[in-house]
Amino acid sequence: MASFIDEEDDDADFLTGRLLVAMPGIEDPRFERTVLYLCAHDEEQAMGLAVNRPVDGLSVYELLDRLGVKSDIQAPGDLVLLGGPIERERGFVLHTDDFNSPDSTLPVADGLGLTATRDVLDAMASRMRRPRKAILALGYAGWGPGQLEQELRDNIWLICDADEGILFDEDHEHKWTRALAKLGITADHLSATAGRA
Phi, psi of 60 (to 5 degrees): -60, -45
DSSP code string of 106-159: EE-STTEEEE-SHHHHHHHT-TTT--SSEEEEEEEEEE-TTHHHHHHHTT-EEE
The tens digit of pLDDT for each residue in 112-135 reads 999 999 899 999 888 888 899 999
Q: Is the pTM of this model over 0.75?
A: yes
The tens digit of pLDDT for each residue in 133-152 reads 999 999 999 999 999 999 99
Per DSSP, what are the bridge partners of residue 113?
95, 107
31 pLDDT exceeds 90? yes
